């Protein structure tokens, strides 16, 4: 079976999603175990795939329908694919187990369909990460988008409008990407990513490819909510139900960043991306503004979920900026941050799920939480510290690489954009510290209970989240520290194996 | 820019104009259904773009005769690949349209109108 | 918003016009996409040899790029699920009293809660918010047209190997025939012919046929979707197995598309309530 890992990662969830949708009409009991089993199988095969990649030292090729590269659709799985695949499947699995209770609460009649949409969304993301075909990526992008709209649009009373706006923007982004693929096709005559990369350096005139590059990147930036195309994200995410936001917020933007990295390095080749386009400095500036604006807007929010969504916007800036610094350290930081930020975002959104399940979304409601929910708050504190970037947690290490990448870029070219990027990173860390310590402070206050003044009433009853939520939450919080401790190994054994020799002089 | 250039690339101009019309409606229109219509025009423009790059002058539809000893001359048939790709894109477009209409119905149920400025005014009042 | 719209359009337009000179002329058989050494040539020359399907579009769609098409089916299925998930409202209780019309006499009956309801037939028609006086011309014309549409749909599905057509087109036609019934009578007439549950299950079944066939190839020891593996199972030549594999998945596609189209129509036309509609 090990030769079929690339297919199994995607096929098992796809088949299960279809079966779950049917089973939901007959007996709802089986939906949850089936869904968990399929995502677990997908996670196990992606772990197996990583080992397979390490064994073959670089690339596992899988030919769908048995056809060779340009004719059929071929997966070329390398270190980057398999790393992100593990992240996607793991986040989806943990969040599914975490949200079982709230799913049963929120959608009693539509459980089966919810699970089917949830797994289809994961399938879409997994397929986007695994694929080696530029057009296949578009189809899977649309699967993930459509199911994502459904999962977001079912939230509170404002969610349909904000999701509809997301749908408009998302369609613009996806269609631009499709248009870009079309231009690549008319210039190269192929859709296979590896093939395109071989043809591009040989082309006599690259005007069409340049246009394709710009339009693809604009499409992806819209999809990943890079400033100034970020307008849809905060509303769409903060109005969504907590069970789906735990899946969508950590993964959508990260997978889109992954596609940007893939497009920049594998499709268009690094020489073209960083040397011929002359866009890198502008995009670094965009990400700098994105980081600063995201952080400032986050400061202004009183609603916890909304604050998190602006942090997501700022984090997109980190990853995009890091990649476009164009040196090895920056790209390493960007890829490492895909992994770490998925885990961190999952952690704080899980906390949001527990808070809105137990108390509410407003930060002012959080009074006395450290006493009321000691375990939840411990895990939440780890997540918060990681987003700030405090050393033993993983957030510190990816920021370290990003800042070092910035310093190197400043040394090499003296670019002001890279300097601004470093300043923006530090500023954003400072803002994150303010944001989370504000919450910690509020949560340490005693609640203004009615029994104020009576002796013996001051002991607050412990009112913890159910175990089914706490255990996955702790696993995620622990993984933040785990990822932090082993980040050196991840970088040297996986990420550095992927990053190609970059053109000199950047 | 002379007339020959414009005529030789008629497909390009057609798709650009459609694309821009769709994009304008998608961004500027106030009514949500008009925005959805704009979205559909926008997607259709890209489909037109793909289909027209498959054209070969004097080419036939890509259904190859298959008698004994018949040799297919590729220049006589259209390029099949863009057609295949666009079949997928059409389906995706229909699916997106369905979901967009479903969301629009939900918005209408919520606010009783599809004019975006009226809805925004209602949200601000809340 | 107007200014933003114009700004975006102008930027996009400038970007698009900027590159026009490198864009290949219309009908240029020598552009990279259409030229000799590329995919187009390979498909046109080899598709019949590889799959015994003369319609190259079908061969590429369901075999060379069958993996894309599987997701295409999954996209339409997701859309069905999404519309259902967003809109459907399950009503536990119906209205307390119901109205019926006895068609031959034109008498209207009110039946209160607990009363015995007459069986739905041509004689007794339920009157509710969707009830409209029958228009015989529309109704009978549509009824006459529907069987032809359905037979044509089956032809389009079955003949997709030889002429323009295939699973999507045929599936849409089949779905349209049921939607036509629902439009010309009322939504309930459509639901009587294909229930919501039936549509949902058929949608699942369609995707399952496609993905299941593909997975079967994997279980038989080939790559996912490699129909050659079916040759052993069916005792036929590998090329013929590809031909038949394409037919099987096209049927799956048709089933899924038909069911999902109808399902989406039910949900959109009644805003999820399924008791009123156009």
Tokens representing A118 are 């949830």
Residues A260 and A273: their CA atoms lie apart, in Å, by 11
How far apart are alpha carbons C160 and C156 in whole angstroms?
6
Q: Do C19 and A114 touch (CB under 8 A)?
A: no
Q: How far is CA A347 from the centre of its chain?
A: 12
Interface contact flag, B30 C1, Cβ < 8 Å: yes
Q: pLDDT class for C79, splitting at 50, 70, 90?
A: very high
The angle that helices A134-152 and A159-188 make with each other, rounded to 10 degrees, is: 180
What is each CA distance from A171 to A319, A370, B35, in whole angstroms?
23, 43, 12
Dump pLDDT digits (tens) for A253-306: 999 999 999 999 889 888 888 888 788 888 999 999 999 999 999 999 888 889
pLDDT at A142: 94
Closest-approach residue (CA) in chain B for C12 = B20
Hey, are the CB atoms on A149 and B46 less than 8 Å from each other? no
DSSP code at position C60: I
Report the alpha-carbon distance of residue A140 to residue A149 in Å, rounded: 14
Closest chain C residue to the Cα of A213, Cα to Cα: C15
Contact C93, A101 (CB under 8 A): no
Closest CA relative to residue A116, chosen from C74, C130, C267, C249: C74
- Which chain B residue shows the shortest CA-CA distance from C47? B64
CA distance B112 to chain A (A): 12
Residue ranges in chain A whose pLDDT is less than 50: 450-457, 505-506
Cβ-contact A25, C200 below 8 angstroms: yes
Answer whether C57 sits within 8 Å of B30, measured CB to CB: no
| Beta bridge partners of residue C107, listed in sequence order | C102
Structural contact between residues A401 and A329, judged by C-beta atoms closer than 8 angstroms: yes
Check if the beta carbon of residue A91 is closer than 8 Å to that of residue A342.
yes
What is the model's pTM?
0.93
Among A73-87, C106-120, C214-228, the minimum mean pLDDT is found in C106-120
Chain B contacts of C24, Cβ < 8 Å? Answer: 53
Find tokens 């969707």 and name the residue: C130
Q: What is the pLDDT of residues C29-41, one digit of tens each?
A: 777 777 756 788 8
Annotate A454-467 with b (16+ C-beta within 10 A) or e (fewer): eeeeeeeeeeebee
Residue A203 has a pLDDT of: 83
Kindly report, residue by residue over A16-34, the tens digit of the pLDDT: 999 999 998 888 889 999 9
Mean pLDDT of C170-178: 94
CATH of B3-57+67-125, one of 2.10.260.10, 1.10.287.3510, 1.20.120.330, 1.10.357.10: 1.10.287.3510
Cβ contact, residue pair C23, B9, below 8 Å: yes
Choose among A139, A164, A172: nearest Cβ to B107.
Answer: A164
For residue A112 the two structure tokens come to 């089966």
Those residues whose C-beta lies under 8 Å from the C-beta of residue A314, and which sit 6 or more positions away, are A290, A291, A293, A294, A295, A298, A428
CA distance B5 to chain A (A): 17
What CA dihedral angle connects A303, A341, A277 and A144, to 10 degrees? -80
Q: Does B37 touch chain A (CB under 8 A)?
A: no
- Looking at residue C37, its pLDDT comes to 63
Which of C29, C40, C75 lies at the smallest CB-CB distance from B57?
C29
Alpha helices in A99-192 (DSSP H): 100-106, 111-130, 134-152, 159-188
| ipTM field | 0.95
Question: Average pLDDT of C201-217?
Answer: 93
CA C82 to each of CA A121, A154, A173, A427: distance values in angstroms, whole numbers, following the listed order: 11, 10, 20, 41
The pLDDT value recorded for residue A452 is: 47
Domain boundaries, given as residue ranges, for chain B:
3-57+67-125
Distance from CA of residue A57 to its chain's centroid? 26
Q: In what order do the strands lie in the sheet with C98-102?
A: C107-111, C98-102, C124-127
Q: In this predicted structure, what is the pLDDT of residue A69?
A: 79
């Amino acid at each position: 079976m090990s030769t079929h890992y690339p297919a199994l990662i995607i096929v098992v969830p796809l088949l299960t999603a279809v079966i779950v949708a049917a089973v939901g009409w007959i007996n709802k009991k089986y939906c949850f175990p089936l869904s968990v089993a399929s995502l677990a199988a997908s996670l196990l095969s992606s772990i197996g795939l990583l080992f397979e990649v390490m064994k073959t030292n670089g690339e596992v090729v899988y030919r769908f329908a048995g056809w060779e590269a340009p004719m059929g659709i071929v997966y070329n799985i390398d270190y980057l694919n398999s790393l992100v695949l593990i992240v996607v499947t793991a986040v989806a699995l943990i969040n599914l187990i975490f949200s079982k209770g709230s799913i049963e609460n929120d959608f009693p009649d539509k459980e089966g369909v919810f699970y089917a949409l949830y797994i289809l969304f994961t399938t879409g993301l997994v397929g986007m990460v695994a694929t080696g075909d530029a057009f296949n990526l578009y189809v899977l992008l649309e699967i993930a988008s459509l199911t994502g709209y459904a999962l977001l649009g079912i939230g509170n009373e404002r969610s349909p409008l904000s999701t509809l706006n997301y749908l408009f923007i998302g369609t613009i982004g996806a269609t631009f990407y499709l248009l870009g693929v079309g231009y690549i096709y008319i210039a190269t005559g192929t859709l296979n990513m590896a093939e395109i990369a071989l043809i591009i350096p040989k082309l006599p005139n690259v005007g069409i490819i340049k246009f394709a590059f710009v339009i693809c990147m604009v499409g992806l930036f819209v999809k990943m909510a890079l400033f100034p195309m970020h307008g849809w994200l905060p509303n769409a995410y903060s109005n969504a139900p907590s069970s789906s936001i735990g899946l969508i917020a950590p993964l959508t933007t990260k997978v889109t960043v992954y596609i940007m990295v893939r497009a920049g390095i594998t499709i268009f080749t690094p020489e073209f991306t960083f040397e011929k386009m002359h866009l890198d400095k502008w995009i670094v500036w965009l990400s700098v503004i994105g980081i600063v604006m995201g952080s400032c807007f986050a400061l202004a929010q009183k609603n916890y979920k909304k604050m998190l969504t602006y942090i997501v916007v700022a984090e997109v800036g980190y990853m995009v900026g890091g990649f476009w610094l164009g040196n090895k350290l920056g790209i390493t930081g960007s890829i490492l941050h895909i992994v770490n930020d998925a885990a961190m975002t999952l952690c704080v959104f899980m906390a949001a799920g527990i808070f809105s399940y137990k108390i509410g979304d407003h930060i002012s409601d959080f009074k006395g939480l450290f006493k009321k929910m000691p375990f939840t708050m411990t895990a939440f504190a780890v997540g918060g510290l990681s987003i700030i970037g405090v050393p033993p947690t993983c957030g510190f290490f990816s920021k370290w690489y990003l800042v070092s990448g910035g310093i190197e870029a400043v040394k090499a070219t003296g670019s002001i954009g890279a300097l601004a990027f470093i300043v923006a990173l530090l500023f954003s860390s400072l803002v994150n510290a303010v944001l989370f310590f504000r919450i910690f402070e509020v949560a340490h206050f005693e609640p203004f209970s009615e029994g104020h003044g009576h002796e013996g009433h001051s002991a607050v009853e412990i009112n913890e989240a159910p175990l089914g939520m706490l255990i996955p939450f702790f696993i995620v919080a622990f993984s933040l520290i785990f990822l932090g401790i082993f980040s050196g190994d991840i970088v040297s054994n996986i990420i550095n194996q992927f990053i190609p020799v970059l053109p000199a002089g950047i | 820019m002379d007339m020959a250039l414009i005529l030789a690339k008629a497909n390009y101009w057609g798709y650009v104009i459609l694309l821009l019309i769709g994009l304008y409606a998608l961004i500027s229109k106030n009514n949500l259904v008009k925005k959805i219509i704009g979205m559909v025009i926008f997607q259709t423009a890209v489909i037109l773009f793909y289909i027209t790059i498959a054209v070969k002058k004097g080419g036939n539809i890509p259904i190859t005769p298959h008698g004994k000893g018949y040799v297919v001359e590729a220049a006589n048939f259209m390029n099949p690949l863009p057609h295949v790709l666009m079949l997928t894109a059409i389906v995706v477009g229909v699916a997106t349209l369905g979901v967009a209409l479903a969301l629009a119905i939900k918005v209408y149920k919520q606010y009783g109108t599809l004019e975006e400025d009226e809805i925004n005014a209602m949200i601000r009042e809340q | 918003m107007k200014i933003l719209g114009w700004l975006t359009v102008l930027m996009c337009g400038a970007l698009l016009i900027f590159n026009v000179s490198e864009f290949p002329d219309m009908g240029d058989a020598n552009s990279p996409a259409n030229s000799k050494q590329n995919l187009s040539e390979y498909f046109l020359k080899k598709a019949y040899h590889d799959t015994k399907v003369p319609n190259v579009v079908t061969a590429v769609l369901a075999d060379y790029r069958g993996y894309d098409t599987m997701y295409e089916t999954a996209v339409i299925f997701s859309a069905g699920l999404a519309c259902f998930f967003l809109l459907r409202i399950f009503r536990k209780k119906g209205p307390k009293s119901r109205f019926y019309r006895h068609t031959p006499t034109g008498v209207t009956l009110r039946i209160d809660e607990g009363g015995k309801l007459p069986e739905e037939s041509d004689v007794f028609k339920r009157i509710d918010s969707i009830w409209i006086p029958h228009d015989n011309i529309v109704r009978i014309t549509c009824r006459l047209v529907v069987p032809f549409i359905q037979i044509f749909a089956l032809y389009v599905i079955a003949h997709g190997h030889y002429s323009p057509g295939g699973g999507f087109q045929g599936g849409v036609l089949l779905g349209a025939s049921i939607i036509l019934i629902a439009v010309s009578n009322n939504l309930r007439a459509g639901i009587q012919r294909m229930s919501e549950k039936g549509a949902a299950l058929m949608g699942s079944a369609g995707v399952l046929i496609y993905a299941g066939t593909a997975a079967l190839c994997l279980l038989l020891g080939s790559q996912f979707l490699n129909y050659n593996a079916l040759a052993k199972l069916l005792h036929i030549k590998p090329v013929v197995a590809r031909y038949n594999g394409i037919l099987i998945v096209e049927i799956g596609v048709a089933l899924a598309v038909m069911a999902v189209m109808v399902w989406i129509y039910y949900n959109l036309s009644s805003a999820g309530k399924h008791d009123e509609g156009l």
